[in-house]
Amino acid sequence: MGGIIRDHFGNALAAFAGPFFNCLVITAELNALSYGIEICTTMGFNFIWIEVDAQLVVQIINDQVIGNPNNFYLIRKIKQLLSSVNYNISHIYREDNACADWLANWGCLLDNSQDLNINALHPALKGMINLDKTALPYIRHL
């Protein structure tokens, strides 16, 4: 999992990454969403715009699709967290959210979840953040 919390100018306020072992991709996506919302509420944010690269997550949160019963308590937790804030949730293609994609890939290499020090981010991640702030596209290569 991986995620980044930014202000309305695109400045990074928080970032996190970590592994999820032996779970469905949708479960990992929902766990990352829950973790990110918890960070936002802890930081006192009342208005949040959530962008996720899994359309199914958007549909589950918007009650358009019933989630996997194995994720019932996790989905309920997310909805409870969201009930205390004003939010918008939308789908974003992975290629358009290079920072979160990079963090998720980096999280696969970790043993535990980590909250990153915003003042000491990896240079590649800093570059992606700056590209996003200037609205320049980031070309993803394999």
pLDDT digits (tens, 9 = 90+) for 4-35: 999 999 999 999 999 988 888 899 999 999 99
Q: In this structure, is residue 41 part of a structural domain?
A: yes
Q: What amino acid occupies position 44?
A: G
* Higher-scoring residue by pLDDT: 82, 94: 82
Residue 139 lies in a domain: no
**Residue 142, in any domain of the structure:** no
- Overall domain count for the chain: 1
Residue 45 predicted with pLDDT over 90:
yes
Q: Residue 65 is part of which domain span? A: 2-133
DSSP 8-state code for residue 83 = T
pLDDT value at position 18? 93
Lowest mean pLDDT among 10-19, 36-45, 94-103: 94-103
Question: Looking at the domain assignment, is residue 43 inside a domain?
Answer: yes
**Mean per-residue pLDDT, 56-81:** 94
- For 9, list phi and psi in degrees, rounded to 5: -95, -5
Q: What is the pLDDT of residue 38?
A: 97
Backbone CA torsion sign across 53, 14, 77, 8: negative
- Smallest CA-to-CA distance from 52 within 98, 92, 111, 5 is with 92
Reported confidence tier of residue 139, pLDDT bands at 50, 70, 90 = low
Residue 85 located in a structural domain: yes
Q: Which residue pairs from 109-115 have beta carbons closer than 8 angstroms and sit at least 24 positions apart in sequence?
A: 109/19, 110/17, 110/18, 110/19, 111/19, 112/18, 112/19, 113/1, 113/16, 113/17, 113/18, 113/19, 113/35, 114/16, 114/17, 114/18, 115/14, 115/15, 115/16, 115/39
Give the residue from 101, 110, 116 showing the smallest Cα distance to 52. Answer: 101
CATH code, domain carrying 19: 3.30.420.10
